[in-house]
Amino acid sequence: MAVPLFASSLEPYRARLDEALSRVVESGSFILGPEVAAFEEEFARYLGARHCVGVANGTDALAIALRSLGVRPGDEVVMPSLTFYATAEAAVEVGAVPVFCDVELETACVTLDTVRAALTPNTKVIVPVHLFGNVAPAPELRELGLPVLEDAAQAAGATLGDRKAGALGDAATFSFFPSKNLPCLGDGGAVTTDSDEVAEHARMLRFHGSRDKVTFEEVGYNSRLDELQAAALRVLLPELDGWTEARRATAAEYERQGLAEHVTLPRPVEGAGHAYHLYAARSDRADELAAALKEQGVGARGYYRVPVHRQPAMQRFGAGAELPATEELAATNLALPMGAGLSPEAVGEVVEACASGST
């Protein structure tokens, strides 16, 4: 049977989503209304953070959060190169200089050592990325004495110890793009923080740099999470923990059914509850295996084959960077089917396809 890469569906929630969207339409309130306010409160409470500021998308969330943490033109921001382009794009957009650090091969996340090696006197903020739903050690990074901004776009539902990703650093950013673990029905994002000052600044920046719609203190953004998306997120947020447990059960099923005989399995950071946004295994024959799986109806693909520091627009920042684990992971990672709707039988199909594709 065909097994898609993203094995999730919103169809079971269709009636509740329709009701929520109709409620917004009937209210006539579409921008920064009661649905956004309610979702911000509910998501902050879910994470264990004091504040959530809804914005238009995850990329704006990064830019707004960086500025709210005090990043100014010319400041350096340390981040991994193995990430979606937006992590670095947002830094450049606010005039900062991205400085790329390496990651740990087994977890695909930055470590205290890889970040420390990239610090300079000009470093203003550290941006660990919770890649693929794993959780970078943000609390350890805070010991370096610099603000830590979690890029949690792929990590809704993930944990480190007894705390949620998104409430580990000085601030965090989320994307609610439809393929994410907590999706909306289009673009959406958020900044979360315990800091009253950071939250207030983020709210000002999302509305053109104004607190009152009359006086404009900074050049900001037209970046608001709209009421329709917030209403949808309020329907889906209560499902997130159940979906996360289902994803973890699928990861355990892959291991139980012997996938490790054919590929290297992803490893959670110590103490982390991986959210498995992507189930990113590794293989020295990753692209060949992906092609073989496709022939058997199994969705699989490599991510970030060209890491950010080698992207054309970022080469001026990444020139000379030596990131061996990043380069190896970029060449060998292979995302296999994952989602709350993946059955043990489907897992068996994937493992069998990997077995035949590896010979």
Mean pLDDT (whole number) for 6-29: 96
Give the pLDDT band (50/70/90) at residue 184. Answer: very high
| Per-residue pLDDT at 357 | 84
Per-residue confidence at 49, pLDDT binned at 50, 70, 90?
very high
Bridge-based pairing state of the strands 272-273 and 123-126: unpaired
pLDDT of residue 114 exceeding 80, the answer is: yes
Domains of the chain: residue spans and CATH: 11-238 (3.40.640.10), 240-357 (3.90.1150.10)
- d(CA 229, CA 242) in angstroms, rounded, equals 21
Question: Is the pLDDT score of 194 beyond 90?
Answer: yes
Is residue 358 pLDDT above 90, yes or no?
no
Helix (H, G, I), strand (E, B) or coil at 2: coil
pLDDT digits (tens, 9 = 90+) for 326-349: 999 999 999 999 999 999 999 999
Q: Classify the phi-psi angles of 180: left when phi > 0, otherwise alpha if psi is within -120 to 50, otherwise beta.
A: beta
Q: pLDDT, tens digit, for every residue of 259-285?
A: 999 999 999 999 999 999 999 999 999
In the DSSP assignment, the letter for residue 208 is T
**What are the C-alpha distances in Å from 138 to residues 135, 157, 163, 173, 190?**
8, 16, 11, 13, 18
Kindly tell me if the per-residue pLDDT of 1 is higher than 80.
no
For residue 153, name the pLDDT band (cuts at 50, 70, 90): very high
Q: What's the mean pLDDT when you consider all of the chain?
A: 97
Q: What tokens does 339 get?
A: 């989602």
Is residue 226 pLDDT above 80, yes or no?
yes
pLDDT in tens, 208-222: 999 999 999 999 999
Q: What pLDDT digit, counting tens, does each position of 53-101 carry? A: 999 999 999 999 999 999 999 999 999 999 999 999 999 999 999 999 9
